[in-house]
Chain A
Amino acid sequence: MPKVVLDWLYVGVFAVVGVVLAVVPLVVVWLLAPRLSLPQKRLTYESGVVPFGQAWAQFNVRYYLFALVFVVFDVEVIYLYPWAIVFRQLGAFAFYEMVIFLGILLVGLAYAWRKGALEWV
């Protein structure tokens, strides 16, 4: 079997075994722990008062703009990885290319900054 396939086979087995091992203590709890369901016990915690309303109300999702900027830069970092590995073999040309690439993104960051997208309001 090729090494790459074997690597990801291990990752898959780790994920499955991880889930099983995380469920085992929950099963032990199910066997050992008492179960007595009272309506008061199942109330949502809210500093000791009876909770009012749902938590699933409308929230001002302030991090939406951050999420957009994040997507841009996360993709950019992914492009940087292959460059970082081979740029010594490619020489000066690859470096200038990356300067241009990063330059455009830094201008983008400056624009977002100036526009106030990075302010937590």
Chain B
Amino acid sequence: MSTFVEILKAIGLAVLIFTFLAVVGAMYGVYLERKISGWIQVRYGPMHVGRWGLLQTIADTIKLLQKEHITPRRADVMIFNTAPIIVAVAGLLDWVVIPFGTGFGRYLVVRDINIGVVYFAAMASLTVIGILTAGWASNNKYALLGGLRSASQMISYEIPLALGLLWAAMIAGTLSTVGIVEAQRGGWFLFKVPPLGFLAALLFLAAATAEVNRVPFDLPEAESELVAGYFAEYTGMRFALFQLGEYAEMYAMSAMAAILFLGGWLEPNMPQWVWALLGIGALAMAAFIRFSVLRQVMLVRPILALAVLGAVICGLMVLGIGLGRTPVLPSIVWFFIKLFALVFFLMWMRWTYPRLRLDQLLNLSWKVLLPVGLLNILLTGLLLTVAQ
């Protein structure tokens, strides 16, 4: 009987997280991406469907639901059809171990698996199977090249990714994601064993960007040379499933980076005057932009929006600490602030760096990130052993 209840609970949670990924992750991920791209390129981005174009991607999804599925004549039909499903499911499975916060007297995580970090690395690399089969089954030259590139890229960056995960696990002394966040009550891992924590975070972020095929590591789908890479032959909803899987993966990587190095759902532990100072700084910046000629420059609009948001958060923190509330904001709010800050960072990077060449990409992984990661582990081990 209890097994039955657990299965029902699991189904409910799976539907909940899938919906979250489809709506917040994919639909509003695409919207954010287009909006931020627009701002950086000094244009508006989607504006017509709904206020500020907020319903644009919902309309797009409904449109995609009515689009015909075209299977190329020479494709391997069965593999061609399963590939998008594999990518979408791999994106969902990452989220089993990601804790959103605390509440109702428990941790808000699907399952706190005791090898959570290893599980995450394993599920994140499942995507490559979907991508490689998609590229191969299309029987399209562009798609095959995209799939092969993706395979070599993903296996190259999986090791730096694992070394980043390993570093955090080593400091925390546990592989459970909840345990890693709890170990950061004394301070974020980003600032542990300085500057090695920062180095490990950088390593993880670079590898995570490569794992989710984003600029500057977007060779598998380089649109200017490979059309769309491995999903060149996919139409309609199958294409949307690839997008869903990719955005789910990107959000999962950002969430993992927040958990490993930015304290997950924990509130930053800073005195009231630091918050006040930060808030005044953000407010001054917002006021400067709003009341100067800069107001008319599109490029600074996201900075204005971020400054106002930052000022609001700092103001709330100052008020909350003044009233003696701890923690001031609910843990889940902090988790999402950190998650979206990292997502924003990834989208910003897209319009800042040019794409690497394939040999540069592999050199970066094997000749820079891997030795640096290993030495980082050894040095941290040495320092921790000496400290004992």
Which residues in A have some Cβ–Cβ distance to B below 8 Å?
A: 1, 4, 6-7, 9-11, 13-15, 17-19, 21-23, 25-26, 28-30, 32-36, 39, 41-47, 51, 54-56, 59, 61-63, 66-67, 69-70, 73-74, 77-78, 80-81, 84-88, 91-92, 95, 98-99, 102, 105-106, 109, 113, 118-120
Residue of B nearest to A103 (CB): B378
Residue of B nearest to A56 (CB): B139
Q: Which 6 A-B pairs have the closest CB atoms?
A: A63-B152, A13-B10, A17-B14, A18-B89, A120-B359, A84-B170
A53 → chain B closest CB, angstroms: 9
How far apart are the CA atoms of A7 and B112 in the complex, in Å?
8
Q: Most A CB atoms within 10 A — which of B65, B138, B174, B385? A: B385
B35 contact set on A, CB distance < 8 A: none
Residue of B nearest to A96 (CB): B385
- Please state if A46 and B155 are interface contacts (CB–CB under 8 Å): no
How far apart are the CA atoms of A91 and B159 in the complex, in Å?
26
How far apart are the CA atoms of A67 and B140 in the complex, in Å?
23
- Please state if B155 and A44 are interface contacts (CB–CB under 8 Å): no
How far apart are the CA atoms of A106 and B388 in the complex, in Å?
27
- Please state if B371 and A106 are interface contacts (CB–CB under 8 Å): yes
B285 → chain A closest CB, angstroms: 41
A109 contact set on B, CB distance < 8 A: 366, 370-371
How far apart are the CA atoms of A10 and B12 in the complex, in Å?
11
A78 contact set on B, CB distance < 8 A: 118
Which residues in B have some Cβ–Cβ distance to A below 8 Å?
A: 2-3, 6-7, 10-11, 13-15, 17-18, 65-75, 84-85, 88-89, 92-93, 96, 110-111, 113-115, 117-119, 136, 138-144, 148, 151-152, 155-156, 158-159, 162-163, 166, 169-170, 173-175, 227, 232-233, 236-238, 240-241, 358-359, 362-363, 366-367, 370-371, 374, 377-378, 381-382, 384-385, 388
Q: Which residue in B65, B88, B111, B388 is a CB contact (below 8 Å) of A28? A: B65
A32 → chain B closest CB, angstroms: 5
**Can you list 8 A-B pairs with a CB-CB distance of less than 8 A?**
A1-B6, A14-B92, A14-B96, A21-B92, A26-B241, A63-B148, A66-B152, A70-B159
- 12 further contact pairs, Cβ within 8 A, besides A29-B237, A73-B370, A118-B363: A14-B17, A14-B92, A19-B85, A22-B89, A32-B66, A33-B236, A54-B74, A56-B136, A74-B162, A87-B381, A95-B382, A95-B385
How far apart are the CA atoms of A77 and B65 in the complex, in Å?
43
Knowing A1-B2, A63-B148, A70-B159, say if A22 contacts B84 (CB, 8 Å): yes
Interface SS of A by simple majority: helix
Residue of A nearest to B61 (CB): A25
Q: Which residue in B93, B142, B237, B367 is a CB contact (below 8 Å) of A11? A: B93
Residue of A nearest to B110 (CB): A10
Q: Which residue in A45, A59, A88 is a CB contact (below 8 Å) of B233? A: A45
Knowing A44-B233, A54-B74, A66-B362, say if A84 contacts B14 (CB, 8 Å): no
Knowing A13-B7, A29-B67, A120-B358, say if A80 contacts B166 (CB, 8 Å): yes
Q: Which residue in A1, A47, A66, A120 is a CB contact (below 8 Å) of B155? A: A66
How far apart are the CA atoms of A75 and B151 in the complex, in Å?
18
A46 contact set on B, CB distance < 8 A: 140-142
Knowing A11-B111, A25-B65, say if A17 contacts B18 (CB, 8 Å): yes
- Please state if B96 and A11 are interface contacts (CB–CB under 8 Å): yes
- Please state if B11 and A13 are interface contacts (CB–CB under 8 Å): yes
- Please state if B139 and A54 are interface contacts (CB–CB under 8 Å): yes
Residue of B nearest to A54 (CB): B139
Residue of B nearest to A3 (CB): B114
- Please state if A45 and B140 are interface contacts (CB–CB under 8 Å): yes
- Please state if B241 and A25 are interface contacts (CB–CB under 8 Å): yes
- Please state if A80 and B148 are interface contacts (CB–CB under 8 Å): no
Q: Which residue in B14, B85, B96 is a CB contact (below 8 Å) of A23? A: B85
- Please state if B371 and A33 are interface contacts (CB–CB under 8 Å): no
B130 → chain A closest CB, angstroms: 11
- Please state if B113 and A7 are interface contacts (CB–CB under 8 Å): yes
- Please state if B93 and A18 are interface contacts (CB–CB under 8 Å): yes
- Please state if B155 and A63 are interface contacts (CB–CB under 8 Å): yes
